[in-house]
Structures are given as C-alpha cells and as structure tokens.
Chain A
Amino acid sequence: MRAVEKLAMRDACAQVLVDCFDEVPGLVVLDADVSKSTRSAEFARAHPERFLNVGIAEQNMVSIAAGLAAAGMVPVVNTFSMLLSMRALDQIRQSVAYPKLNVKLMGHYGGYSAGPEGPTHHAVEDLGIIRSIPHTTLLVPCDATEARGAIRAALAFDGPVYVRLCRNPVPPVLAEPRPFEIGRGYEVRSGGDLTIVATGVMVARGLEAAEILASRGLDARVVAMSSLKPIDGAILEKAARETGAIVTAEEHNVYGGLGSAVAEVLVETVPVPMVRVGIKDCFAESGDYFELMDRYGLSVGDVVVAAERVLERKMRG
C-alpha cells in the first residue's frame, strides 16, 4: 500500500481556517461538542472570539449558522458527517440550501473513517443525500493537500458548500497543491483502456489498482472527481469516448453517490460499459478504518476486479 501522509484532512481543515481568518472577514466557526475530534478546537485556540461551541445540538448549530449567514457572516459548521447530513438534514435543506445561504458544512469522519465507533458513526449515505438537495455544492477531497484547496474554494464561493472529510491520515495523491476548481475533475493518471473515476480516499486506491492493471498490460486512466456536485460532465464524456469503459470507486453506498452521478451523465451522453465499486447497501461493523474498507468492497483488489469485469464487457462489445 502507498505510504500514508502525516497530516489528516481534519488537521488541514483547522489549519486552513486559521490561515483564512484575515482573508474572510465574516468567518465564524461552529462545532457541536466534537471540536477536539474535528480539530476546530485549533481554530478556537487561535480565535476564541469567532468560535461557537453549541453543545450537542447539530440541528441548532446548522440553523444558527443560517442566521449568521443571513446577516452577512461566513459560518463554517463542523461535526461528524453522519450527524451533519442526517441529524441536521432538514435544517440543511430548509434553512441553508433553499435560501442559498453562505454556510460551509464540514462533514468530518466521512465514510468508514470513524472505524471502531461502528456503523452508528459511519457515513455511507451522506453524498447521495446532500447531492439530491437543490442549490448544494458537494466536494470530496482525496487527501489533506486537496482538502486545503477544497475548503479555500468553498470559502471563496458564495453559497452552501458541503465538504466531506476523512478522519484519518490517508495516502497522498497530490505531490503539489493544485488550484481546486469547483465543477472540475482532473486526470491523475493517463491511460486508454478504461477509466477509473474515483472520489475521496478511493482516488489513491484507484491509482494503486491502475499500477496492478499496468503490470497485467492494461492501461487505466484515473480521474479524480473531487467536485461531486457540480460534476464534470465533459471529463466523463471524454473518458467514455476515449477509453470505452468506466469503473467508479467511492467510499459510499453504491446508491446515490459517485457511481450514480457518473451513470446519470453517461447514460444520456456516451453510454459505455460501467461497473461501480462501493459499499453494497449494507451497514458495516466496528473495526480499523482501512481494514473496514478492504472488508466491505473498497479494496484495491476490488477495483482491479471491477476493471477486469468492465473490460470483458467492453471486449464483448
């Protein structure tokens, strides 16, 4: 497996919020009693006067943020993604998305990254839920470096943005920071036989799978789709046209997330054989983060098998 970077997305998140304090005059950071876990406590240390801990009350936190934004502030809300996208879902829909308020929603501990806490704390539905709400922008950075860029882009954007972050340090994808563009995917590996479209932590796993496939003489392109909504239709159509086969890989239920989003684009433009790698509509169990990913269908091997299956279908025509 690729080496794991030292910095986790949550640490990157706290750093970028501290760094942006002077650039974003209305910045105010909120948390609901998990500031040590989300690292928003780092921001609280640096700027206590602009930090609100609302206690264990996620719904109240999101609606307070909506009120702050309605009065011209730029609130950044932090809590676990399963609480944010589900406990406070109605507040996100009614008080933030519908009135297009400038609230930034940091969904920490995305996917299985709450690991040993168990299925109650895993978030494998958040992307599908948030994506289906009008007016939302949904970003899923692939590593800590990109998380910085994604959060900066979210702050520069006027409107509701949900950023799904991973708890753990993960293998780095980007050697150098690249400017984060909302609505744009990008190639992290070129290739002509098939395309692996991945999001979040699965980008690194997609790259590993591509290396294995290369050793078998198969040339896989890897596209990082860190902007899940709006999604980059052009890069998908190009990939479908040029490689004729698509594998999607996401740390999310197979319903409603990246696989669905990619299929929605391609079925109406360039339909080609496609296989989705994702969680197979189940709740997992407590365990080590990376072990859970391997155990529930998100291993590098799962991506390789999906690639072989989709290539078979491509060959059959």
Chain B
Amino acid sequence: MSYSEELIASLDAQAKLNRRAVMEMIAAAKTGHPGGGLSAVEILTVLYFHCMRVDPERPQWEDRDRFVLSKGHGAAALYAALGARGFFPKEAFHRFRQTGGILQGHPDMRKIPGVDMTTGSLGQGLSAAVGMALAARFQARDFRVYALLGDGEIQEGQIWEAAMAAAHFRVENLTAILDYNRVQLDGNVADIMGVEPVAKKWCAFGWEVVDCPDGHSVRQVLEAIEVARQVRGRPAIVIASTVKGKGVSFMEHQSSWHGVSDAARLPEAVEEVSRL
C-alpha cells in the first residue's frame, strides 16, 4: 500500500487541529480525560478523515461504517473528529461536559450526531461492535465496524467474552484497535494488572493481530487499518503503541493526567498543542 504525501500531510494537519480541539475542550470544561484522549487523536483522525464510509449529512445512514469508542472516556478525541468532520457545529465544544450541552462526559448516541454507540462503562463496547457487525450480516449490508479499546479496559472480563464471540461467529467486518498507551488511571498497566503478552492473547482468541509500532504516525495507522480490512474469515485487531497524553510534555506517560489533576495547568497544555 502506498499513500500519497498529500494525504499524509493533510491527515497530519487535521490531527494537529483535532489534538488542539481536545485540549481546548478539556481546558474550557476544566474536567475530562486528557491522557487517553490525546493518545487516540491520530487513530480517530485517520478513521474519520480517511477510512470510514460516513456522511455527516446523514448520521443515521444505514450503510455507514460504525465506530464504537469502547474506551468511552476518550470522548474528547471522538468529539474533536466528529465536529471537524461536520457532524455538529463546533460551538458544541464550548459546552463539553456541561449542562445544556450535547457533548456528554462519555459518548451518547442519542444526543450527539455521529456517535454510533453509547459507551462509558468499560468493557461493553466491543460486544456492541460485534452485535453491529452481525447486524450487517443479517441485513446483507457491507458496512464495517471499528471499535477502539483501551489497554486498561481489556482488563475487563467482558472484552474476552466478546473476543471469543467475534472469532466464533467469524466476524470479518470488524476491526478493533487497541490504544496501547501503557498507562491507566491508577498507574502503569504493567504494575496495576499486566496485559502482556497482549498480541499472543488476541491471537489465541482467534484474531488476526496487526502491529502498529507508532500509533501517532498516520501512515502507520493507515497501513495497519488497511491490512486489518483485508482479513477474511475472522476479526482483526490493530495493536497501536501510543503515548498517553501525547503532545503535552508534562502529561506524556503520566497516570496523573488520566483525568484533570491540576486545572491551573490546562492553559499551558492548550498553548503547547497549539504550537505543534
């Protein structure tokens, strides 16, 4: 696969704008999840600005590709992509996580155009994605379903129920992406509850595993998602190594910035991502 320099440059530029929108939203609200939002920016940008068949004018289009943010706390990154793609006016960003706004703390499919599944309680989104993928089979439609998982999230047992089911039902129109930033709320994943060998686990559950060593390289993300799309007869997962808090020097790799640990430093963070 080869992708033009123009495409790469435009996705990189869009990712920068989206990263800035993530930080601005969280800074305005003084609440949110910067760490796991910033780690997912390139993945979401590549999905919504290149891979997914969606139409912002028709958010309920039956043949659209679906996306499930199984790690629902990454909401700001999803909203940044959806808003930039035109699913709703960017003015909505100003009421992120606040009363009267549409942008709930975690994705709400009934309030936010473009959100395909309500998520927030970790571990459930992959199962819902399996259900959507099976619906395509029942309805003889050719849409694809993408689900973004957190590395801490895969400590939830239900993820592995869904993993087993997707392989058992030979779901091939499903791509999971693991946002492997190696940090969760309480600390490093390896210290809290290690998930390694993570590739072998998915492999053992019957999934095709596609490695993406740098989940912030749009070229690598594009390539990995394309490889996953070619897989037949079983589901595929892209394991994307990412950096929690990517783009803000004092947030990178820090579990303390899973949530907002010091609201006074948020303007500084906005400033940093604006300079990128």
Contact = CB atoms under 8 A, between A and B. Distances in A.
B28 to A, nearest CB: 25
B259 interface: no
The main secondary structure of chain B at its interface with chain A is helix
Most chain B Cβ neighbours within 10 Å, of A26, A59, A66, A67: A67
A95 B109 CA distance: 10
A235 interface: no
Contact of A54 (B68, B108, B136, B165): B165
A99 B129 CA distance: 15
A145 B144 CA distance: 42
Nearest to A60: B161
Contact of A67 (B123, B130, B164): B130
Interface stretch (B95-103, B112-120, B188-196, B263-271): B112-120
A65 interface: yes
A54 B161 CA distance: 9
B271 to A, nearest CB: 36
Contacts of B117: 66-67, 70, 95, 99
B118 A94 contact: yes
A68 B161 contact: no
B204 interface: no
Contacts, number: 113
B165 A60 contact: yes
Interface string B126-167: 011111111110110000000000000000011001101100
Interface residues of B, number: 35
The main secondary structure of chain A at its interface with chain B is helix
Interface residues of A, number: 30
B129 A59 contact: no
A75 B164 CA distance: 20
B158 A28 contact: no
B250 interface: no
Given A60-B127, A72-B139, A91-B124, A55 B164 contact: yes
Nearest to A50: B138
A70 B164 CA distance: 21
B249 interface: no
A160 to B, nearest CB: 12
A294 to B, nearest CB: 39
Contacts of A28: 134, 138
Given A63-B128, A70-B132, A95-B121, 11 more contacts: A55-B165, A59-B158, A59-B161, A60-B162, A67-B133, A70-B116, A70-B117, A71-B135, A91-B127, A91-B158, A95-B119
The 6 closest A-B pairs by CB, nearest first: A67-B131, A63-B127, A71-B135, A67-B128, A60-B161, A99-B118
10 contacts: A59-B161, A63-B128, A64-B128, A68-B134, A70-B132, A72-B139, A73-B135, A93-B121, A94-B121, A95-B128
